Amino acid sequence: MKPELFRVGPLTVHSYGFFLALAFIVGMLVSFWYLRRRFVDAYVVFELVLAAAVGGIVGARAFYVIGHWSEFSSSWWEAFKFWNVQGLVFYGGFILGVAAAAAVVKMRGLSIGEVLDSGGLAVPLSLAVARVGCYLNGCCFGKSSGLPWAVTFPAGTQATMGMPPNPVHPTQIYELIMDLAIFVVLLAVHKRFRYRGEIMLAFVMLYAVARFANEFFRYHTKPSGSLFFQVLSAAAFAVAGLVLLFRRRLLPEAR
């Protein structure tokens, strides 16, 4: 665990913030690469990434606050600390991030399907990079474990989440591996998808499976936390799967 990477004078570079910024850069480069191959004005990806970043952070924080409202009942202003990296939820960030990017797509008159597909390739790799920051920061860790690869974070880290210091599942690394696997699979088969938008739908389905599995090992302050995200993952998988199925049945063969 290394919450602070290094210091330059009065400036402290935090590991989570560094890898979160790196994740956005990686995602931007993947989107840029994909859109250029589709003969789209790929430079608009910079606007898309900025919109998705702002919308994603706001959505991730809002989703956390809604799910942990009791923590803010006596200090509501704490809810607006968007820089609190231990109070962000991926699904909330994903929903609002996509909505913000969709607004840019509409204003620029782009194909929303192609832009979504670029995100379907970019997001899993970005998530893998961001999870390195999670691990170094000591957040998003797992339940107690006696496995050989279990990790013990410094005293006080787990205590802030209501758990005594003991070996836990490195769920950040579990998800990092699964996110990389999703990226590799989608990159290998992305040319085989028939319609625009299907890469993103496939990503949602694959990530839903990965998140569902990882929730068996991830620790939450509320016992119902894992079940909530598993239900959400199952719903995301079902919705994306149905959309994918109906698109293939209703749309003509030509892309």
pLDDT tens figures, 175-207: 999 999 999 999 999 988 878 889 999 999 999
User: Is 214 part of a structural domain of the chain?
Assistant: yes
User: Is 255 part of a structural domain of the chain?
Assistant: no
User: Is 136 part of a structural domain of the chain?
Assistant: yes
Count structural domains, the chain.
Answer: 1
Can you tell me the mean pLDDT for 154-173?
74
- Contact status, residue 228 vs residue 89, Cβ threshold 8 Å: no
The SS3 assignment for 207 reads helix
Q: Give the contacts of 203 (CB within 8 A, at least 6 positions apart).
A: 119, 120, 121, 123, 124, 182, 186
Domain assignment of residue 158, given as a range: 4-250
Q: Could you tell me the pTM of the whole model? A: 0.78
Among the residue ranges 28-37, 73-82, 113-122, 231-240, the one predicted with the least confidence is 73-82
User: Is 194 part of a structural domain of the chain?
Assistant: yes
User: Is 130 part of a structural domain of the chain?
Assistant: yes
Question: CA nearest 206: which of 186, 190, 226?
Answer: 186
Q: How many CB atoms lie within 10 A of CB 68?
A: 16
User: Is 186 part of a structural domain of the chain?
Assistant: yes
- Contact status, residue 30 vs residue 125, Cβ threshold 8 Å: yes
pLDDT digits 0-9 by tens, 50-109: 787 788 777 777 766 666 656 656 665 555 555 555 556 666 777 887 788 788 888 877
Greatest distance between any 2 Cα atoms in the chain: 61
- Contact status, residue 47 vs residue 100, Cβ threshold 8 Å: no
pLDDT digits 0-9 by tens, 106-121: 887 777 888 889 889 9
